[in-house]
Structure 1
Amino acid sequence: MKKTNKKIALLGFASSALLFLTGCVATHKVNGVLVPTEAAKHGFTYQWLVRPMSDFIDLFAKNMNLGYGLGIILVTLIIRLLILPLGLNQAYKATYMQEKMSYLQPVFEPLNARLKAATTPEEKMAAQTAVMQAQKDNGINMLSSIGCLPMLIQWPFFISLYNATMYTPGIMSSSFMGINLAKPSIILTIISGVLYFLQTWISTFGMTEEQKKTSKMMLFMSPAMIVVFSFMAPAAAALYWAVGGLVIVIQQVIITLIMKPNMKKKIDAEFKANPPKIMDAPRDVTPVSVQENFNAITSQPNATERKNSGAKGGRNAGKQERR
């Protein structure tokens, strides 16, 4: 549930961000077309972000006579590819910690179960301390994978590029491959939705069944959100989302099919050299069933040992009941 709530929160943040993007420049309609107001043209956002990006698009569209459609595509690709190393670096850190946590699941599963089973403040404090100590002992620091710098660097580019596609003079009177850039395009909307669905689908490769269940909401809601915003916006903005979606798919392929396998080998080698440190659970906090589960996972007995252990446990349980 916590993972699902986090993903819902992220989607909510993304939706708010998209709404924020559309409201960065004050506009009014001229002949049925949205254009920046005179006051907005003298504002910080337009002068320092939107206008330079518009000039960048004009460089390809006018100076090189490629047209505004290709201008938007080239500028989007250039910006996205420039930012790609930052995205990959952040994704590497986050994925590394996730894979490490997955590897250490036998260590943390009983500790987390003990935390859930705690009923008193003292028990909860002891359980939380045990979890934090286990994370420290095994080199887990989830905060290290959460960095604001990549997002802060990307944000101005996204704001300027999105608004530039919306309000650059000449774009709203142009077309690309027969698509009117001033009106919503079903074709570009579908392409954007498919690409973002493909990205979230690729991200599920290698996940456990439990992880896939928690990712189902993301699998559909993220593309649905892009589809809604692409359909509501002019085709110029939808073209930006489509090209950006293509780069995101490439990034996800690199993360899932190249980074993750190498990362797992690295983590295996790390823990072979330095085996995971397992903390003993306090008896007054850990239920017997959780402790048995912990021992079973960490020791990984063979079938004969499990059978004998089960029989012995059954006899001991019977003696305890007779007492």
Structure 2
Amino acid sequence: MDDQNKNLLLATALSFAVILVWFVMFPPAEQPATDPNAAVTAEATTPVADTTAETAAAVATAVTVEDAPRLTIETPRVSGSISTTGGRIDTLALKDYRETQEEGSDIVSMLAPQGSANPYYTLFGWAPGQGLSIDQVPGANTQWSVAGNQTLTPETPVTLVWDNGNGLTFRREMAIDENYMFSIAQSVENTSAATVSLAPYGVIARHGEPQDAKNFFILHEGLIAMADGELSEQSYGDATDFAVNQREGARAEVTQVEEAGWVGFTDHYWMATLIPEAGFKSVMKYDERRDIYQTETVQPTQTLAPGATITAATQLFAGAKEWETIRAYENNAGVAGFIDSIDWGWFFFFTKPIFWLLHTLNAMIGNMGWAIIGLTVVIKLLVFPLAYKSYASMAKMKELQPQMEELKKAAGDDRQKMQQGMMELYKKEKVNPAAGCLPILIQIPIFFSLYKVIFVTLELRHAPWAGWITDLSAPDPSSILNLFGLLAFTPPEPGSLLAIISLGVMPILLGISMWLQQKLNPAPTDPTQQMIFAWMPWVFMFMLGGFASGLVLYWITNNMITFTQQYLIMRSHGYKPDVFGNIKSSFKRKEKAKE
């Protein structure tokens, strides 16, 4: 086995092994069947808050929100409503996004009230301190009055008012911008003769784990928080385990945020987070008894003297994780670390610049598929110096082949002598035998970073390329089983056994491109190597057949550029690859094997 084939086999085998571990050993977990009509317990909790004595325990209160009057939320990008029971924002739909690409598909719904199949809502209020009891501050069951405007728009905020009957008047003004950011200003006026203390809070509550959660190891879904530059993540399973393990003590993970931070829930493409003013307690917890996941912000306790008014401000982001929108909130609105709400993964130093370049190319070209092809070209240009040295070394190895054969004959069975002779030859001719595998090895982190980008970023969701490829984040929908649409036969759904052989056009092109790349060099003489090399393109074709078509498009483009680069570099060094001859010889070997 010559060194070139050793390097190629080693690098390809390593790629195969890594992909196999990631996508065969760790498939997405199957979701248990759930009954969407099952009864939902109408309960909510108040937050953990500072008091003058001690931190208050969570208190459950029964609420009814279905029949309460509502305020309408209506902007160019979202629609929803606010219940006057608790003043909660509990219905919200994203007008720019639909559940599927089918005509007439429902608009994506984010928040849902209690009494629905999957309650997910926000609460705001004040935790009682010195001089106050729980019924003297607004909570989840408070019936608010509306002062003035009944519809929340970017131009018209709404105001809720509640008088506790003991000299305290609470007001809550809510505003929304043109995207997904709510601003909530809570104020309290003290007309009594007593000094009191109280702490403002915000809550996002989610009843049960979302039915559409992917539970895929490459993607974080669940509770998420940023505290003074440190990102914390809890999956739903982690939060559940934490609660179970802490039954005898506190069931909340509490973090003191000194400067800036936020906390909430993140889904695959959507997110709801609370962003208070500087200095607050961030809470992530799971209520095992009620099956409620909850994130909270508790701001410092304030003292309210007679005749005085205090105000606390909090922002709520509830919407799509659009890179440009989130980055603008971070850069222009001071939401520290907000871009990290997108799950860039451990290799963020690859995924962030790769997505930035992809996004920039898409803005210039106007098509994400062509942007992926452009990204591939740029990456190949960046690594071209390394590739040139590698391919030049491979070409030089070809030139040294006669001398290497002579060394093997002279050494006979003395392997140590042969290796010493090879090393002297490499040193003399300034050849690095390991250089041949570098172009393939460098593709491994790039490949996985691009896979991460395509899988987690919203911008690839339902992004079309050309022809039948209408969603680059999904597998190629064509199928060889129905002759790519010529037969009146619906191919099997992804996840079924037959789906493995239901290859689309792009996976087949991927296999062909890998096969052609192999034909730049003659097949190895060793029969075992011949078999491995013969099967490898087609094994990869089946393995990657269910991957996102955007990733397959990248790999096809990369293979074709690599083929062209390697062919031209080898020609420039005096070696003319006989591609057609190598193809013919591979078929001749098969004919001999049959005989």
TM-score bracket, normalised by the shorter chain, equals 0.5 to 0.7
Asked if 1:142 is matched to 2:433, the reply is yes
Matched with 1:36 is 220
Asked if 1:200 is matched to 2:201, the reply is no
Structure 1 residue 7: deviation in Å?
4.8
Change in 2 beyond 3 A, CA 1:36/1:91:
same
Contact 1:94–1:142 (Cα < 8 Å) also in 2: no
Uncovered stretches (5+) of structure 2, i.e. residues with no partner:
32-209, 223-232, 236-265, 267-340, 479-502, 577-595
Q: Deviations over 1:95-115 (max 9, x none)?
A: 322322322223221212344
Amino acid at match of 1:250: I
Other structure's SS at 2:430 match: coil
2:457 to 163, 168, 186: 168
Matched with 1:109 is 405
Matched with 1:240 is 551
Uncovered stretches (5+) of structure 1, i.e. residues with no partner:
119-123, 267-323
Change in 2 beyond 3 A, CA 1:103/1:33:
same
Counterparts of 1:189 and 1:86, CA distance in 2: 31
Structure 1 residue 117: deviation in Å?
1.9
Change in 2 beyond 3 A, CA 1:223/1:253:
farther
Percent identity, aligned pairs only, is: 14
Asked if 1:254 is matched to 2:565, the reply is yes
Structure 1 residue 222: deviation in Å?
2.9
Change in 2 beyond 3 A, CA 1:78/1:137:
same
Contact 1:196–1:249 (Cα < 8 Å) also in 2: no
Counterparts of 1:78 and 1:87, CA distance in 2: 14
Amino acid at match of 1:103: E
Matched with 2:505 is 190
Structure 1 residue 165: deviation in Å?
1.5
Counterparts of 1:110 and 1:86, CA distance in 2: 38
Contact 2:514–2:559 (Cα < 8 Å) also in 1: yes
Matched with 1:315 is none
Larger Rg: 2
Counterparts of 2:412 and 2:212, CA distance in 1: 58
Matched with 1:94 is 390
Count of aligned pairs between the two proteins: 247
Contact 1:195–1:245 (Cα < 8 Å) also in 2: yes
Other structure's SS at 1:36 match: coil
Change in 2 beyond 3 A, CA 1:244/1:116:
same
Matched with 1:284 is none
Matched with 2:540 is 225
Matched with 2:85 is none
Amino acid at match of 1:167: V
Contact 2:510–2:552 (Cα < 8 Å) also in 1: no
Structure 1 residue 169: deviation in Å?
2.9
Change in 2 beyond 3 A, CA 1:76/1:92:
same
Matched with 2:423 is 132
Structure 1 residue 218: deviation in Å?
2.9
Asked if 1:12 is matched to 2:196, the reply is no
Structure 1 residue 141: deviation in Å?
2.9
Counterparts of 2:383 and 2:396, CA distance in 1: 20
Matched with 2:188 is none
Contact 2:373–2:554 (Cα < 8 Å) also in 1: yes
Amino acid at match of 2:566: I
2:345 to 30, 45, 48: 45
Structure 1 residue 242: deviation in Å?
1.9
Other structure's SS at 1:264 match: coil
Counterparts of 2:463 and 2:13, CA distance in 1: 33
Amino acid at match of 1:185: D
Contact 2:11–2:437 (Cα < 8 Å) also in 1: no
Amino acid at match of 1:245: I
Contact 2:477–2:504 (Cα < 8 Å) also in 1: yes
Amino acid at match of 1:246: T
Structure 1 residue 166: deviation in Å?
1.6
Q: Deviations over 1:219-267 (max 9, x none)?
A: 5413431432232x3xxx22321243124203312321x221111179x
Counterparts of 1:5 and 1:98, CA distance in 2: 12
Counterparts of 1:265 and 1:5, CA distance in 2: 20
Alignment TM-score, normalising by the size of structure 1: 0.57
Counterparts of 1:47 and 1:138, CA distance in 2: 38
Structure with greater helix share of residues: 1
Change in 2 beyond 3 A, CA 1:150/1:82:
farther
Q: Deviations over 1:44-79 (max 9, x none)?
A: 617946567567666677x7894xxx32x2442232
Counterparts of 1:113 and 1:129, CA distance in 2: 14
Structure with greater strand share of residues: 2
Contact 1:199–1:248 (Cα < 8 Å) also in 2: yes
Q: Which has the higher contact order (CA 8 A, sep 6+)?
A: 1
Contact 1:196–1:222 (Cα < 8 Å) also in 2: yes
Structure 1 residue 10: deviation in Å?
2.9
Amino acid at match of 2:551: Y
